[in-house]
Amino acid sequence: MIKEPTEISFSPNSQQIREIEIWLLNEHKNNGNRFHGNWNHIERCFREKRILVGRIHGKTIAFLTFLIQDGVCSIGILNVKSEFKNIGVGKKMVEMLEREMILKKCIAIMLFCQPEDSEQFWRKLNYIKAPKRPFDEPELTYYKSLVKNIIMTTKHQDTANKVEIWFTEKTNNLDVPPNLCFNIEQSGDILAYVHYDWMIKLTIDGIDVATSKIKYFQNELDKYIIAPFIFISEEDLNRIITEYRN
Ligand SMILES: CC(C)(COP(=O)(O)OP(=O)(O)OC[C@H]1O[C@@H](n2cnc3c(N)ncnc32)[C@H](O)[C@@H]1OP(=O)(O)O)[C@@H](O)C(=O)NCCC(=O)NCCS
């Protein structure tokens, strides 16, 4: 799809950052574009090596800022210069970030969709809309798993071995189908965007062996919650299943 040769770099120089500043300042003057208001954030990301830039014919035409915390990468801003939109630059930059974050052993990438009309772009790149959690700001959060996830369904599954999650903190409200279900007869990790007060149920060989709030799952709050995600590696899952079977 890319018609122009795009060069993407995790280590821009100060001249390239200056080009971004001029571009954003001009856009702000010409059409009130608000990205220049984030200048302090952009400079800080440059100092801390948390910025990716895209260049075409030697000119800086795109940037992406990010932060890694506890193995979760958050995208701050992704912006492509107007005349270079829709030629694949944004996609290429996000894919490069994903590859780099996998190397850094991150479990997921997340972002707040601002402006909202970029939602379709994230969906095209297989980002999933996160469920609304209590007390969250009404922003649109999207995320993508970077681990080898067991396929997550939103339907009840008729399998004897599964992990189910309900987006409720009410323990007596589990007669309805779960919001998420993982068939743990498949191999892979479990990763989902959750609130730690929501309910989780582990069924092994058809028996409900654990129903609790996510924060009490296996009594190991710190191990499985990497906020805002629950992450149970395949290795941990197999260990838990073996312990119950013995
Ligand atoms: C959103 C943005 C980053 C997309 O970058 P881009 O380089 O124009 O996007 P790409 O050309 O890589 O597009 C990848 C795919 O998404 C689609 N797409 C891109 N922007 C879209 C939009 N606003 N609505 C619907 N689809 C969109 C493209 O058609 C393409 O689809 P295809 O693979 O089927 O051909 C860019 O438009 C931008 O900078 N917008 C302003 C700032 C912004 O919204 N940032 C997002 C912050 S959350």
**Which CATH number covers residue 92?**
3.40.630.30
Among protein residues, the one whose CA lies closest to atom 48 of ligand 1? 113
Q: Is cis: bond before 178, omega within 30 of 0?
A: no
Side-chain half-sphere of 29: how many Cα atoms within 13 Å?
5
| Token pair belonging to 184 | 């743990």
Q: Which atom of ligand 1 is nearest to the CA of 92?
A: 12
Average pLDDT for 100-106: 97
Closest CA to 165 of 180, 186, 145: 180
Parent domain of 131: 6-145
Same domain, 87 and 66: yes
Angle at CA 96, nearest 5°, toward 228 and 91? Answer: 90
Q: Which residues line ligand 1 (CB under 6 A)?
A: 1, 78-80, 85-91, 111, 113-115, 117-118, 120-121, 124
Residue 1 pLDDT > 90: no
* pLDDT (0 to 100) of residue 237: 94
Spacing, Cα 169 to ligand 1 middle (Å): 36
Spacing, Cα 142 to ligand 1 middle (Å): 15
171-211 pLDDT per residue, tens: 887 889 999 999 999 999 999 999 999 999 999 999 999 89
Same domain, 17 and 84: yes
Closest CA to 68 of 140, 133, 129, 10: 10
Say whether pTM exceeds 0.75: yes
How sure is the predictor about 157, in pLDDT bands with cuts at 50, 70 and 90? confident
Side-chain half-sphere of 180: how many Cα atoms within 13 Å?
24
Among protein residues, the one whose CA lies closest to atom 21 of ligand 1? 121
Residue 243 pLDDT > 80: yes
16-44 pLDDT per residue, tens: 999 999 999 999 888 877 788 899 999 99
- Which of 63, 94, 118 has most ligand 1 atoms within 8 Å of its beta carbon, as the pocket-test mutant? 118
Among protein residues, the one whose CA lies closest to atom 36 of ligand 1? 80
Closest CA to 81 of 116, 104, 57: 57
CA distance 13 to 34: 24
How sure is the predictor about 221, in pLDDT bands with cuts at 50, 70 and 90? low
* pLDDT (0 to 100) of residue 6: 87
Sequence-ordered list of residues with C-beta below 8 angstroms from that of 48, at least 6 positions apart, any chain = none
| Token pair belonging to 192 | 């989902």
Same domain, 139 and 156: no
- Which of 24, 36, 38, 86 has most ligand 1 atoms within 8 Å of its beta carbon, as the pocket-test mutant? 86
* pLDDT (0 to 100) of residue 117: 87
68-101 pLDDT per residue, tens: 999 999 999 999 999 999 999 999 999 999 999 9
Same domain, 16 and 113: yes
Same domain, 35 and 101: yes
Q: Is residue 1 part of a domain?
A: no
How sure is the predictor about 222, in pLDDT bands with cuts at 50, 70 and 90? confident
Query: In sequence order, what are the beta bridge partners of 199?
Result: 166, 213
Q: Report the mean per-residue pLDDT for the chain.
A: 92
| DSSP symbol at 88 | S
Same domain, 134 and 31: yes
36 and 24 Cβ atoms separated by less than 8 Å:
yes
